[in-house]
């Protein structure tokens, strides 16, 4: 797996025209998040405390049952917000498998946490596709999508998610995208950034700390 450098990911998130994906392997995606450079991990968390950075904002997206949802629908719970796409060959399913393990490790506290998977590829990831995909990892996970790329673009910008389609054979494409996760507090405000491959035990510890 090849990764876009963190500095390049920052440029991607800022929408600079000079930003181009660095991966030459069309079967994999290059992943990084601009949020990694925004804040460093604190002694209290394995992830980075970004509560003072003003990252994120509300959205109105469609879940796997065709219902419109906003962050207000998750009020009262911690939210783990992960961005990806269902045809991702490695990073996205690995992340969701890790989060499924987190829910097991949380025990009864899992009822206080909602995992939300937001598709960066709404053209292909319809509600029906998400309904076949997201519950495979945990039947309590929620998948969200938009009607098209234009409708999703403001959400990706608000959450500083870099995304680029990479053409492959026969008109198909893969998607390079930021791979980290955000943890939102019970009021829907971004609290932590968790880089890709953060261990399930570390995610669990951070969530339990926020639940205290």
In the predicted model, is pLDDT for residue 9 greater than 50?
no
Q: How many beta carbons lie within 10 A of that of residue 133, not counting itself? A: 21
Q: How many beta carbons lie within 10 A of that of residue 70, not counting itself? A: 13
> pLDDT per residue over 21-72, tens digit each?
334 344 444 444 444 444 444 558 999 999 999 999 999 999 999 999 999 9
81, exposed or middle or buried, with CB in 10 Å at 0-12, 13-18, 19+? buried
Specify the pLDDT at position 63. Answer: 98
The fourth-level CATH superfamily of domain 6-211 is Glutaredoxin (3.40.30.10)
Q: Which helix (H) or strand (E) holds 153?
A: helix 149-158
> pLDDT per residue over 135-156, tens digit each?
999 999 999 999 999 999 999 9
> pLDDT per residue over 60-107, tens digit each?
999 999 999 999 999 999 999 999 999 999 999 999 999 999 999 999
> pLDDT per residue over 116-131, tens digit each?
999 999 999 999 999 9
Specify the pLDDT at position 42. Answer: 52
């Amino acid at each position: 797996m090849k990764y876009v450098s963190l500095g390049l990911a920052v440029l991607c998130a800022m929408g600079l025209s000079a930003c181009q994906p660095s991966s030459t392997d069309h079967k994999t995606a290059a992943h990084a998040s601009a949020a990694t450079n925004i804040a460093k991990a604190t002694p209290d968390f394995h992830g980075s405390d970004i509560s003072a950075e003003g990252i994120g904002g509300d959205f109105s997206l469609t879940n796997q049952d065709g219902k419109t949802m906003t962050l207000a629908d998750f009020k009262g719970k911690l939210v783990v917000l992960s961005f990806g796409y269902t045809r991702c060959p490695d990073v996205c399913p690995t992340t969701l498998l890790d989060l499924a393990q987190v829910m097991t490790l949380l025990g009864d506290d899992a009822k206080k946490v909602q995992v939300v998977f937001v598709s960066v590829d709404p053209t292909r990831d319809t509600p029906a596709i998400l309904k076949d995909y997201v519950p495979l990892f945990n039947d309590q996970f929620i998948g969200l999508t938009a009607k098209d790329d234009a409708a999703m673009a403001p959400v990706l910008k608000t959450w500083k998610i870099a995304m680029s389609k990479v053409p492959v054979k026969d008109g198909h494409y893969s998607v390079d995208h930021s791979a980290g996760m955000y943890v939102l507090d019970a009021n829907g405000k971004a609290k932590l950034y968790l880089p890709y491959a953060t261990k399930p035990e570390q995610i669990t510890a951070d969530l339990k700390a926020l639940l205290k």
